[in-house]
Amino acid sequence: MKRKSLIRHLEKYECILLREGANHSVYINSIHPELKAPVPRHKEIEDFLSIKICKELGIPEP
């Protein structure tokens, strides 16, 4: 999955960017701020990792 597609999916379900790290961007669920997940800065993100990120944020899989 492309990183841009994953970011669009996260934003569709009201996840917002918390901070930028050196190698990752950290997103939080705006409805449940205790749910956080790092998103790597690769052009292509493996499907299993996309699913794991969505589970950590409590949103449906892409």
Mean pLDDT split into 10-residue runs, the chain, 62 residues: 96 96 95 96 96 97 92
Give the separation between CA 33 and CA 35, rounded to whole angstroms.
5
- Rounded to two decimals, the pTM is 0.93
- In the chain, what are the domains? 3-57 (3.30.920)
Residue 8 phi, psi dihedral angles, 5° rounding: -60, -40
- Residue 46, judged by CB atoms within 10 A of its CB (0-12, 13-18, 19+), counts as exposed
What pLDDT score was predicted for residue 44? 96
Percent of residues, the chain, with pLDDT higher than 90? 98
Contacts for 23 with CB less than 8 Å, ≥ 6 apart = 40, 41
Q: Give, for 19, the enclosing helix (H) or strand (E).
A: strand 15-20
